[in-house]
Amino acid sequence: MSKEKVVSDYNGYDYKTEFWEKTDRAYEDQADRMAIRKLLPKRMEKFADIGGGYGRLANEYLKRARKVYIFDYSKTELDQAKEMYGDKIETRAGDIYKLPFKDNELDGLMMVRVTHHLEHLDKAIAELYRVLKPGGSAVIEVANKRTLPKMARFVTGRSKINPFDQSVANYKEISKDGFYNYHPKYVENIFSKVGFKTEKILSVSNFRSRGLKKFLGTNNLVKMENGAQQLLAPIRFAPSIYYKLRKPEE
């Protein structure tokens, strides 16, 4: 998403149709929404969906904020968002490492399904901290390196990536430019060093499995997910870990 090295450029790609609508990802979509409803503040003045693309999750925050921005690298996706939501949102395109917002401008922000594209997560988190006002809230989803399937693949020798250490995992077999997963402790150390205070953690998409989808169905998995998000948060084993962070008052 940096102009110097774009890890995932969705310009010209219909992410909405190809990734979400043509595939069996209804469970993942509902799991994301469930977490966002639990974590986002009820009332905000200025809010930004960082890496928000075409606004898949916009209905979860439009009624919570007076002013809404969707930021993304892809102008293709931002054009879709504008077509869908019109004057309800303002779109901004650019580099996530140099966000087009002023210092302390936003009351709230979220970043979902973005970290796996980021080679320099620490720089991106520092930018989020910069643009958030003191007392503001950030909801950040992180692609987890330490999941049970990844542990199983490593222990049985099917993967050389060790999910137990804190080094950043780069799955080049998924994307030649990089597909990054992070150990929870590594991420939480970045949050702390930048200055964020962690208020709540959720374990999300706990049952992401083709087999489970086929056997139990989406509706049953969503019901199971609701209770599991808080219950399983302490062990950090889910594909997505959600953090509610606060920038301390000055």
pLDDT of residue 4: 47
Pairwise pLDDT comparison (60 vs 14), residue with the higher score: 60
Q: State percent of the chain over pLDDT 90.
A: 83
198-121-140-24 Cα dihedral, nearest 10 degrees: -140
| Stretch among 45-49, 56-60, 66-70, 213-217 having the lowest mean pLDDT | 213-217
246-111-160-210 Cα dihedral, nearest 10 degrees: 120
Q: pLDDT at residue 182 above 60? A: yes
pLDDT of residue 18: 84
Domains and CATH numbers, the chain: 15-246 (3.40.50.150)
pLDDT of residue 203: 97
180 contacts: CB under 8 Å, gap ≥ 6: 115, 116, 117, 118, 119, 121, 143, 168, 169, 170, 171
32 contacts: CB under 8 Å, gap ≥ 6: 57, 112, 113, 141, 204, 205, 240
- Nearest CA-CA partner of 226 in 58, 76, 67, 34: 34
